[in-house]
Structure 1
Amino acid sequence: MKKNKLSGLGRQGGASGLTMLVMVLFFGSLLTLVIKLGPAYLDDYTIQQTLEGLDGTEGLSQMGPAQVHALINKRLSVNNVRTLDKKAITVEKSGELVLLGVDYEVRENLFRNVDAVVHFKHDYEMKGQ
């Protein structure tokens, strides 16, 4: 009888314990980043959609900066975004145009004394009806 050279436990191989540990640490770190920083990006997306939704709002070009801030805050509170500071939004008027600027950063503690800082900056030029 002829023996098959491919059969046998000596020929089988796989990931070593060290390789598995490195993979678990890498994917665990990646998952931690997604869990910690994901909400900041989702809030920023909501802020962008809210501000882009102001374009074409009736009477926007006649509103003062305080009224525009109030309108933005009302729309953000409906979408449950309460972390944006009032100072982060700038409202300027240039004739019929309303210039909106959003500039803020989010700091999130990853572990111990290691923080992640995410900076967002958006500019919009809008015209009301």
Structure 2
Amino acid sequence: MKHINLSAMGRQGGASALVILIMVLFFGSLLTLLIKVGPAYMDDYTIQEALQSLDGTEGLSQMGPAQILTLINKRLSVNSIRGFDTKNISVEKDGEIVVIAVDYEVRNNIFRNIDTVVHFQHSYEMRGK
């Protein structure tokens, strides 16, 4: 009959309390960062979709910059983007082509004096129908 050495099994142990505490702190920090920064990326994605949907809009190339900004503001309002300032959008016309540039940053407080700054910059060239 074979003899199984159980002495090696007796020396094995699980994670210590210190390792578990470090893992909880690490994953808790990642989760906090995701909760704080994630909505900024989701809002940016919604802003991109709203601006890209302008391409091919009826009469876009005949509109002035103020009219285009009003149209963008309506689309952002429909998509529940309320904290975005339209001063971050510049509209330029080059003949039939409308160039829309977006440049803004979002600041979030993580903990006490630790903040995140997320910078977004997009540019779109569009033609109206």
TM-score by length of 2: 0.94
User: Which letter does structure 2 place at the counterpart of 1:34?
Assistant: L
Q: Does 1:92 align with 2:92?
A: yes
| Structure-2 separation of matches of 1:102 and 1:52 | 12
The 5 Å alignment of 1:70-89 reads: 70-89=70-89
Q: Which residue of 2 aligns with 1:113?
A: 113
For structure 2, list consecutive stretches of 5 or more residues without a partner in the other structure.
none
- Deviation of 1:2 after TM superposition, in Å, equals 7.3
**RMSD of aligned alpha carbons:** 1.6
The 5 Å alignment of 1:3-18 reads: 4-6=4-6, 10-18=10-18
Q: Deviations over 1:84-112 (max 9, x none)?
A: 11210000000000000000000000010
- Deviation of 1:48 after TM superposition, in Å, equals 0.3
Query: Percent of aligned positions with the same letter in both sequences?
Result: 70
The 5 Å alignment of 1:10-29 reads: 10-29=10-29
- Deviation of 1:18 after TM superposition, in Å, equals 1.2
Pairs aligned (count): 129
* Runs of 4+ residues deviating >2 angstroms: 1-4, 6-12
TM-score by length of 1: 0.94
| Structure-1 separation of matches of 2:78 and 2:6 | 65
Q: Which residue of 2 aligns with 1:64?
A: 64
Q: Which residue of 2 aligns with 1:34?
A: 34
